């Protein structure tokens, strides 16, 4: 396919101008009997509302939250939601947003490559009813068409289950735009028992002993348990943000460039979740001082952990472990969720708690333009350097080096 004119798209707050090139090769096209259309404005999302709400299962691809964040994130240009269906059948959806953002490849916590690019981002949970092979192929062709026309430089899928068929379709050995360094991470999901005592009985005797020791150690050092406050009402937004920011600014997460930050987008997300009764924000206090926090959302039967952090001055108390146990206790008592999504990263604590591992993949698909090809090549180079360091230093020392260089 010849490279067509790059579409002009107004930034945040501007009026969208979608050139014909953006429509070419996708809208109204049929792939193996699957018809594809793309919603590129908030108005065009409305006909998809009922289907989107029916299929949605993850808060980060929830329709209302998606619309809320659209108006807040400065890099966001517009929606890009694929609808893929056969005649007489409800469509599959691929939820994405077009962003003009800075793409960074890091090594040892330091940025080695940085470039502005247009990225079609598919959030966690953004692939809806895409199991059928014909729909998977159609989705892949639509994403490739957006790259071929210059509508985007890259496509990014965030933390998709590894067995999702679209992952295999975009990772074929001869796929020219395939990601040379997809990131595979371990997600952990914990079934919640009918009570906290039932949860404890389900653990091994060694696990119960270790958790008892952690709790007793905190009590001995403090003369009692830290105070736990839970924030879940809209009028508590300002206090919740203030307390969370006071802890977050002390954490490793902040030095490494991720985690909770008091921004308009973060406030909008919290406000939206608080208004709908999803938000459960837990803050741990010692002598009136906040020392740890955990933000999470109860959404369609699952508690999704969002942001967490603790003040390193209290590290000897292991406040993260203590807070997680208190969160689990409250969730078991509340019975608003049946599962707890512990997020990614494989840790001994998650194994101790009886979590079920779930491999997730984050990957890019690269276009054929010079910028995209350069990013693809440098990504491969950084990945090769990282793997060499792991072989030389060992995985554990490599992780320590990464944390140290981020400070």
Residues 133 and 173 in one domain: yes
Residues 222 and 371 in one domain: no
CA-CA distance, 38 to 215, in Å (whole number)?
Answer: 53
- 27-34: long-range contacts at Cβ-Cβ below 8 A with a sequence spacing of 24 or more? 29/142, 29/145, 31/134, 31/137, 31/138, 31/141, 31/142, 32/134, 32/137, 32/138, 33/86, 33/134, 34/84, 34/85, 34/86, 34/134, 34/135, 34/137, 34/138
Task: Tell me what pLDDT residue 385 has.
Answer: 86
Angle at 289 between CA 283 and CA 290, to 5 degrees: 25
Sequential DSSP letters for 313-351:
GGGGG-HHHHHHHHHHHHHHHH-S-SEEE--SS--HHHH
Residues 36 and 174 in one domain: yes
User: Which H or E element spans position 166?
Assistant: helix 165-170
Residues 48 and 124 in one domain: yes
Number of domains in the chain: 2
Q: List, in sequence order, every residue forming a beta bridge with 116; answer none if it has no partner.
A: 102
Establish if 355 belongs to a structural domain. Answer: no
Establish if 348 belongs to a structural domain. Answer: no
Establish if 5 belongs to a structural domain. Answer: no
Establish if 356 belongs to a structural domain. Answer: no
Residues 373, 177 contacting (CB under 8 angstroms): no
Residues 275 and 180 in one domain: no
Residues 182 and 320 in one domain: no
pLDDT in tens, 60-109: 999 999 988 776 788 999 999 999 999 889 999 999 999 999 999 988 77
**Domain containing 212: what range?**
193-337
Establish if 310 belongs to a structural domain. Answer: yes
Residues 274 and 367 in one domain: no
Task: Tell me what pLDDT residue 242 has.
Answer: 97
Task: Tell me what pLDDT residue 97 has.
Answer: 95
Establish if 112 belongs to a structural domain. Answer: yes
DSSP E strand stretches across 125-166: 127-128, 154-161
Task: Tell me what pLDDT residue 395 has.
Answer: 58
Residue 286 has φ and ψ, to the nearest 5°, of: -125, 120
Residues 386 and 370 in one domain: yes
Task: Tell me what pLDDT residue 26 has.
Answer: 64
Sequential DSSP letters for 239-256:
HHHHHHHHHHTTSHHHHH
Establish if 386 belongs to a structural domain. Answer: yes
Residue with tokens 């890091």: 106
Residues 107 and 212 in one domain: no
Residues 128 and 201 in one domain: no
Residues 239 and 165 in one domain: no
Indicate which CATH number applies to the domain containing 29.
3.40.630
Residues 29 and 125 in one domain: yes
Q: Among 173, 139, 289, which residue's Cα sits nearest to residue 222?
A: 289
Torsion of CA 346, 169, 141, 28, to 10 degrees: -80
Indicate which CATH number applies to the domain containing 301.
3.40.630.30
Residues 318, 299 contacting (CB under 8 angstroms): no
Establish if 374 belongs to a structural domain. Answer: yes
User: Which H or E element spans position 230?
Assistant: strand 227-231
Q: What is the mean pLDDT of each run of 10 residues along the chain (407 residues)?
A: 36 42 59 90 94 95 88 87 93 96 86 94 95 93 94 96 94 93 89 90 86 84 89 97 96 82 92 96 94 95 92 89 91 92 75 80 96 96 84 62 40
Give percent above pLDDT 90 in the chain.
Answer: 60
């Amino acid at each position: 396919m010849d490279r067509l004119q790059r579409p002009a798209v107004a930034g945040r707050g501007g009026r969208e101008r979608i050139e014909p090139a953006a429509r070419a090769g996708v809208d109204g096209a049929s792939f193996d009997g699957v018809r594809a259309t793309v919603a590129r404005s908030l108005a065009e999302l409305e006909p998809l509302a009922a289907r989107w709400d029916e299929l949605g299962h993850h808060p980060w691809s929830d329709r209302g939250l998606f619309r809320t964040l659209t108006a807040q994130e400065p890099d966001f240009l517009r929606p890009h939601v694929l609808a893929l269906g056969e005649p007489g059948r409800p469509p599959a959806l691929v939820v994405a947003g077009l962003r003009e953002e800075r793409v960074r490849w890091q090594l040892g916590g330091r940025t080695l490559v940085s470039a502005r690019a247009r990225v079609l981002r598919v959030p966690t949970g953004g692939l809806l009813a895409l199991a059928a092979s014909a729909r998977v192929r159609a989705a892949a062709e639509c994403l490739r068409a957006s790259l071929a026309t210059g509508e985007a430089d890259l496509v990014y899928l965030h933390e998709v289950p590894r067995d999702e068929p679209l992952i295999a379709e975009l990772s074929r050995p001869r796929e020219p735009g395939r990601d040379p360094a997809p990131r595979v991470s371990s997600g952990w999901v914990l079934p919640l028992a009918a009570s906290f005592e039932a949860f404890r009985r389900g653990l091994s005797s060694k696990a119960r002993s270790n958790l008892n020791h952690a709790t007793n150690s905190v009590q001995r050092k403090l003369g009692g348990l830290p105070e736990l406050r839970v924030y879940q009402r809209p009028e508590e937004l300002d206090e919740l943000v203030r307390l969370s920011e006071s802890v977050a600014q002390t954490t490793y997460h902040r030095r490494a460039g991720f985690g909770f930050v008091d921004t308009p987008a973060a406030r909008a997300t919290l406000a939206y979740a608080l208004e709908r009764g999803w938000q459960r924000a837990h803050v741990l206090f010692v002598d009136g001082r906040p020392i740890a926090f955990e933000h999470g959302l109860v959404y369609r039967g699952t508690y999704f952990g969002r942001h967490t952090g603790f003040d390193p001055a209290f590290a000897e108390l292991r406040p993260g472990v203590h807070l997680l146990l208190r969160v689990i206790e409250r969730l078991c008592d509340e019975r608003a969720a049946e599962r707890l999504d512990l997020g990614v990263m494989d840790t001994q604590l998650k194994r101790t708690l009886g979590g079920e591992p779930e491999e997730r993949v984050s990957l890019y698909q690269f276009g054929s333009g010079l910028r995209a090809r350069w990013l693809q090549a440098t990504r491969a180079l950084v990945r090769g350097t990282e793997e060499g360091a792991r072989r030389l230093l060992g995985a554990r020392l490599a992780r320590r080096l990464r944390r140290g260089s981020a400070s």
